[in-house]
Amino acid sequence: MLVVRPITMDDYDALHKCAVESGHGFTSLPVNEELLTNRIQHSEYSFGKPDVSEPGDEGYLMVGFDSETGEIAGTTGIEASIGWDVPFYSYHISKVVHSSPKLGVNNVVKLLTFGNNYTGCSEICTLFLRPDFRKGLNGRLMSKCRFMMMAEHPERFSETIFAEMRGVSDADGNSPFWQWLQEHFFSIEFTLADYLTGIGKKGFIADLMPKLPIYINLLSKEAQAVIGQVHDNTKPALKLLEREGFCCRDYVDIFDGGPTVECDLKNIESVRHSFRASVQISEHSSSQDYLISNTSFENFRATTAKAAYDQETESVLLSEEVAKALQVEEGSKVRMLAL
């Protein structure tokens, strides 16, 4: 059984392994001991922070682990409110019309405009599932558990939730979008720029990135073709978010042109359709799969399991194994989502 819990310092080696396996373009998992250690420590601080009434500098990082072997299967996270201590940049795709009635010319041209429009929003991030665990309901658990947390503790998150999706790059980490920017404005490789961003050294972006809007039709054909497109490895994650109600509102990543998707917290499908139930611990024969989480924040746990829900009594039968994994007992409350 795969179970999600907050990360601890004991998970450093496993997180480092995930960082190595995630490859180029996975900015939120840099292969850097200091940064990964700081990320874990900040998450421990954030989960232990009491009485949070509004989103702030908190960053919540979780791991999925095999309840039988203890092996870490992957990681998933949420940043409560981005862009305050470290600027968060994106491009917005807009349109301008170049028109001349006398000549009968009417051209619609797209622009990339540099900005910080997601400042203050909550970001879902760092979703990575190791290849051996990409099966069954594991992907849905790692993605949706974050929305269960938001449904139970909405005060800790912003009204708008967004996710940056990894854009197109080749096996060596080369991005067609970045190659055009590099040629005209930068003198560093995509992998280095991506790495510097991952470790928080973003000053070069503001220093070198063009401040005026860029006409998309002036970019190379290769760069134009990947704007708003995702890396092949990211397509399953994008599909999961689209089913949740996320969509791209014309914001893309400044390095690889990958889409940024967003949704209002209250409109996320898993938030809207999840519900609370009282626990009864008993063996049962139900074949219905649920995503189930406890209602604790500091000791958050989530898993997928068979359960028998009684709508009339608002109670659920959980096996002893599932109850133990969720750290709940008879009479405890859990949050559920039918799968």
Phi-psi region of 104 (alpha: psi -120 to 50; beta: other; left: phi over 0): left
Written as six digits, the tokens of 158 are 């912003």
90-100 and 72-79 strand pairing:
unpaired
Written as six digits, the tokens of 119 are 């400042």
Nearest one of 219, 208, 223 to 175, comparing CA atoms: 223
Residues labelled catalytic? 231
Q: Which residues, 6 or more positions from 260, have their beta carbon under 8 angstroms from its beta carbon?
A: 90, 118, 162, 163, 164, 165, 248, 249, 251, 252, 253
Helix-strand-coil split of the chain, %, nearest 5: 30, 30, 40
Q: Which amino acid is at 69?
A: T
Is residue 257 within 8 A of residue 229, CB to CB? The reply is: yes
Say which DSSP state 166 is in: P
Phi-psi region of 83 (alpha: psi -120 to 50; beta: other; left: phi over 0): left
Which residue do the tokens 């480092």 mark?
A: 16
Nearest one of 209, 200, 202, 261 to 230, comparing CA atoms: 261
